[in-house]
Structure 1
Amino acid sequence: MSTPIRLYTQATPNGLKVSILLELLGLKYDVTPIDFSKNEQKEDWYLKLNPNGRIPTIVDTSTNTILAETAAIMQYLVDTYDKENKFSYKIGTPLYYKQLEVLYFQMAGVGPMQGQMGHFKRAAPEKIPYAIERYENETKRLYSVVEEYLNRNKANGPFLVGDHLSIADIAVFTWANFLERGGIDIKPWPLLENWIESIAKLPAVQVGLNVPKRD
C-alpha cells in the first residue's frame, strides 16, 4: 500500500539527507531509486517533477507538495511534520535562524566544494592538479569552519546549533560522512570526528543511510 510521501533519490550525500530526516521523523514513505547510469534524472517524466534534473525530489500528496533542493525539502518536512521541534527549532527564534545559517552554509559551500573535489579526484577524464588542490584545500577550510561551529556550541553538546540534533547537523553530516572515502583525514578536527560518530550510530540514521536499499 502506497504512502502519501514518495522520495525520488539515490545514495548520494544529498539524497541521504532526506532519507535520514524521514527516518528520524518516523514518517512512512515510498522510494523510487533514480538510476544515474540510465540518466533517468534527465528523462521527461522526472523533469516534470524537478526541472533541474537532480536528486532528491519529494512528492507529498497529502499536501499537494512537490519539492526539490534538499534545504527546501528538509525545511518543509520539519515545518510540516516536526511540530515538537525534535529536529528543528521554532520558527522566528534565534536558533531557527542560526539553523538556517548552517543549512545555507552547507548548501552554498560544503556541498559544492566537496562535490567538485570528488569530481576532479575520481571522475574527471584527466587529472588536473590545480583543480584537485584548489577544491581539496577549500573543502578542508570549510570543515575547519564546521569544527569552529562545533567548538562555539560545545557547551550545548555535539551539535552545530543549539542543544539537539537538527536539520543543520543532518545536512552537513551526510557530506562529512564521505570525507575519509574522499581521501581526507578528519583527525585534525576532533570535534568533527566525534560528531560524525555520534550521529552515525543513531538507529534511524543507519536506516536512512541505506536508502535506496542495497543488495
Structure 2
Amino acid sequence: MIDLYYWTTPNGHKVSIFLEEAGLDYAVKPVHIGRGEQFASEFLTIAPNNRIPAIVDRAPADGGQPLALFESGAILEYLADKTGRFLAHEGRERYVTLQWVYWQVGGLGPMAGQNHHFRNYAPHKIDYAVERYIKETARLYSVLDARLEDHDYMGGDAYSIADMAIYPWVVPYDKQGQDIEEYPNVLRWMREIDARPAVKRAYALVEDINPANNVEMDDEARKHLFGQR
C-alpha cells in the first residue's frame, strides 16, 4: 500500500496518474494547500520542503521499513523502478526519458507556475512579468511540439513517466495564455493521453477532493501559498 499525500495540482496529478496506470494500491491523504495543511508537523516529517506530492511506500521493494519520498520527479522514477514499468531499466532509452522528466521539473513546471501566478493570482498585474512568463511558456511548448513531431511520446515510441510528468502542466494551457492550436503535435499527444482510462480515473479524484479544482484565493490561502518565509 502506498499513501499518497496529494492536492489537485499538476504535480499532484503526476503521481496519481502513475498509480492508476500501474494499478497500485494506494490511499489518498489530501493536503489542502490553501489552508496550510502542508505545514503540519506530521506532513513535514514526510516532505520537509512543505510541498505536495509525497508518498509513503509501506511495502518497499527492499523489504525494509516504510519509505517516505517527496519531489514528484523522484517519486515517478522510484515507482517506475519499483514496478518495472514506464521507464527502461537501463540504456539510452532510460536516459532519454529521464531528461524529459528533468526538463519538466526544472523548466516547464517552474515557468508555467510563475505564469499562473502572475497572470491569475498576483494582486497587482506586472506587465513585464506576465509577458516574460507567457513567452517563456510558449518557448517551452515549442520545444515540446518539436519533440513530438517525430516521436509518439516524449521518451520515444512508448508512453512513459516523462509523459505523466509533462501532461498535467499542459492541461491548463488556457490559464497560461497559450493557444493550443499553435502546437498541433502537442494537441495530438494531449488527446491520446486524455483518452487513457487511468488518466481519467486519476483526474476523477478532483471531484471527491476539490470539486472546484482550484484554491479559494482568500487572505488565508494567500498567506499560506505566497507568504511563506
2:57 is matched with 60
Does the CA-based 8 Å contact 1:9-1:56 persist in structure 2?
yes
Does the CA-based 8 Å contact 2:6-2:53 persist in structure 1?
yes
State the alpha-carbon separation in 2 of the partners of residues 147 and 36 from structure 1: 32
Does 1:113 find its partner at 2:108?
no
Which whole-Å deviations, capped at 9, do the CAs of 1:71-107 have from their partners, x for residues lacking one? 10000101001x2x3x222x22111000011000000
Q: How does 1:8-157 map to 2 (within 5 A)?
A: 8-63=5-60, 64-81=66-83, 83=84, 85=85, 87-89=86-88, 91-153=89-151
User: How far is the alpha carbon of 1:210 from its aligned partner?
Assistant: 2.4
- Backbone CA RMSD of aligned residues: 1.2
Q: TM-score, normalised by structure 1?
A: 0.91
AA at the equivalent of 2:194: A
State the alpha-carbon separation in 1 of the partners of residues 116 and 174 from structure 2: 11
Q: Is the partner of 1:59 in helix, strand or coil?
A: strand
Pick aligned residue for 1:5 from 2, 5, 10 = 2
Does the CA-based 8 Å contact 1:16-1:211 persist in structure 2?
no
Q: Is the partner of 1:97 in helix, strand or coil?
A: helix
User: How far is the alpha carbon of 1:182 from its aligned partner?
Assistant: 3.2
Ranges in structure 2 where 5+ consecutive residues have no aligned partner: 61-65, 212-229
Ranges in structure 1 where 5+ consecutive residues have no aligned partner: none
1:197 is matched with 191
1:178 is matched with 172
Q: TM-score, normalised by structure 2?
A: 0.86
Residues paired across the two proteins, number: 204
Does the CA-based 8 Å contact 1:6-1:29 persist in structure 2?
yes
State the alpha-carbon separation in 2 of the partners of residues 36 and 102 from structure 1: 27
Identity %: 41
**Which consecutive segments of 4 or more residues in structure 1 shift more than 3 A?**
none
